[in-house]
């Protein structure tokens, strides 16, 4: 029996993962804005990928009125409140919601809106973009989608989803401890975003400064302390991987949040760096570098919203 899946948006991430579910034979509908709807009706869903292209007509709507089995959320955190209201008609008693947003704060907001029994956990590692004409470009062959049940009642759908994605050129992990996996991405991303937005430079450039290494590793240690105090210490493997990426001298790595600032757009700063600070303070930790990074992002948002 196929799943009825609603994908909110058909942008880069939603289009990629929704498109592959569609290729796997699931009943996928994209809930999109009118402009994106017109693109999809004219050109179909177009995904250009090293692992195989998708060029296919799709089911796309601009509003919904009945429940689905699964709702896939890949919006930015600053669009979450609007997304919650948009998908509300699609959420019934048996619906499961799979968010693949960064950070953790969205789980509390979705739980409050729909009930924790409906909200799974998820994260993805994917380098992808979308052209103005709607073409989705998967830039590197590596991609990984990790999801899992946060409550036992969600396990059957998580297993069905894993079986569907097993037909696709996607690395999929149906995690038995998805919240811990989310923490392991969260502490790394908070360090990366906090560092590269504050210094307005990629990792390699920061490391060229005399105190750059000390700053990055100091911020990483603070985020590690928060994760550990919250009961989710990074594994030795994850710690080694994080340190490698954050101390690689020729690295061009930067957070997408830095690029958002350079374009003058909104950021997920409060959702990621600010939320890490909030959680750490609630646990009684002193976090001077995280405080500095958060203050910078808050000042940027205050200036941006003031015009």
Task: Specify whether 17 is located in the same domain as 146.
Answer: yes
Q: Give residue 45's pLDDT.
A: 96
Helix, strand, or coil here: 259? helix
**CATH classification at residue 139:** 3.40.50.720
Half-sphere exposure of 99 (CA within 13 A, CB side): 27
- pTM, two decimal places: 0.93
Whether the pLDDT of residue 1 is over 80: the answer is no
pLDDT mean across residues, the chain: 96
pLDDT band at 48; cut points 50, 70, 90: very high
Task: Specify whether 64 is located in the same domain as 171.
Answer: yes
The CA radius of gyration of the chain, in Å to the nearest whole number, is: 19
The count of other CB atoms within 10 Å of the CB of residue 197 is 24
Whether the pLDDT of residue 51 is over 90: the answer is no
Average pLDDT (132-153) is 92
The count of other CB atoms within 10 Å of the CB of residue 137 is 15
Task: Specify whether 67 is located in the same domain as 200.
Answer: no
Task: Specify whether 78 is located in the same domain as 163.
Answer: yes
Calculate ∠ Cα 227-176-109, nearest 5°: 60
Q: How many domains does the chain have?
A: 2
Task: Specify whether 169 is located in the same domain as 219.
Answer: no
The DSSP code for 150 is S
Tell me how far apart the alpha carbons of residues 277 and 289 are, in angstroms, rounded to a whole number: 10
Among 154, 175, 196, give the residue marking a domain's end: 175
Whether the pLDDT of residue 259 is over 80: the answer is yes
Tell me how far apart the alpha carbons of residues 215 and 223 are, in angstroms, rounded to a whole number: 12
Average pLDDT (68-91) is 95
Task: Please check whether residue 110 is in contact with residue 298, taking contact to mean a CB–CB distance below 8 angstroms.
Answer: no
Task: Specify whether 251 is located in the same domain as 298.
Answer: yes
Task: Specify whether 104 is located in the same domain as 118.
Answer: yes
Domain enclosing residue 260, as ranges: 180-306
Task: Specify whether 188 is located in the same domain as 294.
Answer: yes
Q: Give residue 307's pLDDT.
A: 82
Express each pLDDT in 178-228 by its tens digit. 999 999 999 999 999 999 999 999 999 999 999 999 999 999 999 999 999
**CATH classification at residue 212:** 1.10.1040.10
Tokens of 227: 């994760």
- Give φ, ψ of 235 to 5 degrees: -65, 165
The count of other CB atoms within 10 Å of the CB of residue 8 is 24
Task: Specify whether 220 is located in the same domain as 144.
Answer: no
Average pLDDT (141-169) is 95
Distance of CA 38 to the CA centre of its chain: 26
Tokens of 98: 């799979």
Task: Specify whether 119 is located in the same domain as 210.
Answer: no
Task: Specify whether 167 is located in the same domain as 212.
Answer: no
Among 175, 194, 228, give the residue marking a domain's end: 175
Task: Specify whether 153 is located in the same domain as 194.
Answer: no
- The helix or strand, by DSSP H or E, that contains position 97, with its residue range, turns out to be strand 96-99
Q: What is the DSSP string of 95-110?
A: -EEEE--SSSHHHHHH
pLDDT band at 160; cut points 50, 70, 90: very high
Active-site amino acid positions: 185
């Amino acid at each position: 029996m196929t799943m009825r899946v609603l994908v909110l948006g058909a942008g880069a991430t939603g289009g990629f993962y929704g498109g592959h579910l569609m290729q796997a034979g699931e009943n996928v509908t994209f809930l999109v804005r009118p402009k994106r709807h017109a693109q999809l009706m004219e050109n179909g869903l177009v995904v250009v990928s090293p692992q195989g292209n998708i060029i296919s007509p799709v089911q796309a709507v601009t509003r919904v009125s009945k429940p689905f089995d699964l709702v896939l959320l890949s919006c930015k955190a600053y669009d979450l409140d609007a997304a919650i209201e948009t998908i509300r008609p699609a959420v019934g008693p048996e619906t499961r919601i799979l968010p693949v947003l960064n950070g953790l704060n969205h789980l509390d907001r979705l739980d409050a809106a729909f009930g924790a029994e409906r909200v799974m956990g998820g994260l993805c590692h994917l380098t992808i973009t979308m052209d103005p004409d709607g073409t989705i470009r998967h830039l590197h062959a590596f991609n990984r989608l990790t999801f899992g049940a946060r409550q036992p009642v969600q396990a059957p759908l998580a297993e069905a989803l894993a079986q569907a994605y097993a037909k696709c050129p996607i690395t999929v992990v149906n995690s038995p401890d998805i919240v811990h996996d989310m923490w392991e991405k969260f502490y790394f991303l908070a360090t990366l975003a906090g560092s590269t937005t504050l210094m307005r430079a990629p990792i390699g450039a920061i490391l060229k400064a005399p105190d750059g290494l000390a700053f990055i590793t100091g911020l990483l240690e603070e985020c590690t302390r928060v994760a550990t105090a919250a009961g989710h210490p990074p594994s030795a493997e994850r710690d080694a991987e994080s340190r490698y990426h954050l101390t690689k001298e020729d690295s061009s790595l930067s957070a997408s949040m830095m690029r958002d600032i350079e374009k003058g757009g909104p950021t997920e700063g409060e959702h990621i760096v600010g939320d890490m600070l909030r959680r750490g303070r609630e646990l009684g930790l002193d976090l001077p570098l995280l405080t500095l990074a958060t203050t910078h992002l808050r000042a940027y948002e205050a200036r941006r919203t003031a015009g």
